[in-house]
Amino acid sequence: MVSAAAAFDVSKSPLLFSDAGVKFNNEVYVEMLDEKVLPWVTETFDDRYTFIQDGSPANTFNLTQRCKGHFSGFWDKMMWPLSSANINPMDFAIWSIVKSNVSARSYSNVSDLKKALLSSWIKLDEEVVRRTCNSVTTRHSEM
């Protein structure tokens, strides 16, 4: 599994790859947040950000919701409508662009696939990231 974050100022986190065979549950998700995401967010934005995530089970589990005490801004599960994929910028736009770029060919091994994902992530158009992330508040208010 691969995870990432993007922001309205076009900052993009490093791609985070899960090890093969690891079940992506709430414990793995919280560990990733604590060890990878929070340090990147804090270094990149100090305390000027709002962390949002979709409504998947790993993200809404109570252990994950405790993360709101560690992020300066945090949309908890009560803020997410049932059709949350419509307001998560990674879900409604960014991942589909990365996937489209990468799926144009097949890969003989995981290493080559990861390289292609990294290349697509790096080349992601900054204006698309900006517009997509800036539309979150509007999309949320329309739900």
Residue 6 tokens, joined: 């993007």
Report CA-CA distances (Å) from 35 to 40, 91, 96: 9, 23, 26
- Mean pLDDT check: name the lowest of 1-5, 7-11, 15-19, 48-52: 48-52
Q: What is the pLDDT of residues 48-105, one digit of tens each?
A: 776 666 556 655 556 555 666 666 666 666 666 555 556 777 878 899 999 999 999 9
Counting the structural domains of the chain, the total is 1
Q: How far apart are CA 122 and CA 136, in angstroms?
A: 22
Q: How far apart are CA 37 and CA 27, in angstroms?
A: 14
User: Is residue 57 within a helix (H) or strand (E), and if so which, with residue range?
Assistant: helix 57-60
Residue 93 maps to which CATH number?
A: 3.30.420.10
The conformation of residue 91, written as its DSSP 8-state character, comes to I
Range of the domain at 46: 2-142
